[in-house]
Structure 1
Amino acid sequence: MLLDYNDYVIVYKTIDKFNNVKVLYKEYFIYVNIRKIKLHIKAKDLYPDGYDLNTLFISYEDRKLEKDIVRVSKNALKKIQKEIRNNK
């Protein structure tokens, strides 16, 4: 729980040398001091073994595009080519 906002967050990275942790709060990653959060539920109690945590941190569209690229989807290739043309 993020004490400043009285709201729940998901810890993304563990404590760094400044006692900060990277958390996911309302679709944004922010760094928060460890003293400003309180553990509500442990990850091992919340998610079963083998659970793909990428589903929490990566959007559905990005995961789908990655799967389409792996299986060489024509639609994914067209989408990437279109993005490349638009970024020039």
Structure 2
Amino acid sequence: MARICSIRGTRVRSGGKIHRSGLAKKKGGIGRHVTKVVKRTVSPNLQTKRIWIPELSRFVRVKLSARALKTVNKNGAFVTLKKAGLV
């Protein structure tokens, strides 16, 4: 199953984590050095929720991010899901 928010379209992103070695000059060393850059993935905070829509008087099951859930709470379920094309 894809890790994509059905409302905002947020998906897994990739980035780089910098590995450093050595002791800082401030702590008596010769300084920190970058030794390599490692690829890593950043996953969205996805939740599977059943959202009640009063206008349709039924539940809709959606996979959404925590930020999209705040959007649903702010703008209303029917308006948000209709704009996303889920209703």
- Structure of higher RCO (CA pairs closer than 8 Å, 6+ residues apart): 2
* TM-score relative to the length of structure 2: 0.23
* TM-score relative to the length of structure 1: 0.23
Q: Which has the larger radius of gyration?
A: 2
The structure in which a higher percent of residues are strand is 2
